[in-house]
Amino acid sequence: MRLLILGGTEFVGRAVAEAALARGWEVTVFHRGRHEPPAGAVSLIGDRVAPGGLAALTDDEKSSWDVVVDTWSAAPSVVRDAARLLRDRVDRFVYVSSRSVYAWPPAAGLAEDGPLVEGSPDAGEVPYGEAKRGGELATVDAFGADRSLLVRAGLIIGPYENIGRLPWWLGRIARGGPVLAPGPRELPLQYIDARDLAEWTLDAAQAGLSGPFNLVSPPGHTTTDELLAACMRATGSDAELRWTDPEKLLEAGVEPWSDLPVWIPPGETYDAMHTADVSKALAAGLRCRPVAETVEDTWAWLRSIGGSAPQRPDRPSVGLDPEREAALLAG
């Protein structure tokens, strides 16, 4: 298979590139040159938001691919322009979208036929959910429904994460001492390891699947307790987890998801984020590795790069600072 990745040097795109290279696929990554591409990939340099920035994709009139994977998260018009340029050079377009395309708040157990936010393939900078929906519409507009695969991912973690959620927990627990642990400890969590997303996406593209798929682990794949315990084991930390009732955390002004990454207390927002119906993806072969493997491999990656995870410039940093956590624990 000949694969083109628009991106391919950071988190999800890099996971897709490495998985494809491991299969012996011919991989081309189109990127801005800010990060080293995976070894073995053909590198094309360009800035898709600059005038003429897609030229490298058409420099060779014979350039063509079986599949293109696009992870773009900003202006849908950027997806539109790339998709239109490539529709006669690529057989199938895979757009890594998000469950944020569903009208908020998505109901518990929502499947792919749930109500969607408004979106336009011609939009510029818009809120995240609208941007991803616009990217979906741009994909289908250029490639048609039968040649488009829409991967609606949930929470994504694993090696190369540049958002900071799992890296924050690993770093915090590695420091030791009392750790503010958000209850309830047995609360089920739903997420996808970027490598499992990559493997499923490549399988689905090769099989010629089309349409939208919720892509996240089955509900209850792990719990908050199991996730933090895996962080303790991976880091070898002697930290003390101080389990705290969610009501107390909320009263203290702790922001779910951002101050304590991954955590959302029970309620409407929790149902929206951690109870998605993924039966369609499971029927199409989705396999999710144990949480311990994801945590251990992410810790090994962090140590290999000096312990500090990269941070996407378009996303805010996450996690409580030490002083505020200490004050909350003391209170």
- The three-state secondary structure class of 64 is coil
Q: What is the mean pLDDT of residues 233-258?
A: 96
pLDDT score for 309: 82
Split at pLDDT 50, 70, 90, the class of 317 is confident
Q: What is the mean pLDDT of the chain?
A: 96
18 φ/ψ angles, rounded to the nearest 5 degrees:
-65, -40
pLDDT higher than 90, residue 182: yes
Among the ranges given (42-46, 58-62, 102-106, 120-124), the one the predictor scored with the smallest mean pLDDT: 58-62
CB 194 within 8 A of CB 12: yes
Of 196, 174, 189, the residue nearest 285 (C-alpha): 196
Burial class of residue 13 in the structure, from the number of CB atoms within 10 Å of its CB (0-12 exposed, 13-18 middle, 19+ buried): buried
Residue owning tokens 């890099």? 14
Q: CA separation (Å) from 242 to 183, 224, 237?
A: 9, 13, 14
pLDDT digits (tens, 9 = 90+) for 299-314: 999 999 998 888 888 8
The structure tokens listed for 99 are 């469950």
CB 216 within 8 A of CB 197: no
pLDDT score for 331: 79
pLDDT score for 59: 83
pLDDT digits (tens, 9 = 90+) for 136-156: 999 999 999 999 999 999 999
pLDDT higher than 80, residue 60: no
Q: Which residues pair with 4 in a beta bridge?
A: 28, 68
* pTM for this entry: 0.96
- Encoded amino acid at 52, one letter: G
CB 195 within 8 A of CB 158: yes
Q: What is the mean pLDDT of residues 13-32?
A: 97
Of 110, 109, 108, 137, the residue nearest 122 (C-alpha): 137
Q: What is the mean pLDDT of residues 306-327?
A: 89
> Residue 80 CB: number of other CB atoms within 10 A?
21
pLDDT score for 308: 82
Split at pLDDT 50, 70, 90, the class of 321 is very high
Domains of the chain: 2-153 (3.40.50.720), 162-189+220-275+290-330 (3.90.25)
How wide is the angle at C-alpha 286 spanned by C-alphas 146 and 194, nearest 5°?
95
pLDDT score for 62: 67
How far is Cα 71 from Cα 74, in angstroms, rounded to an integer? 10
**Which distant-in-sequence residues (6+ apart) come within 8 Å of 94 by Cβ?**
67, 68, 69, 70, 148, 149, 151, 201, 204, 205
> Residue 74 CB: number of other CB atoms within 10 A?
18
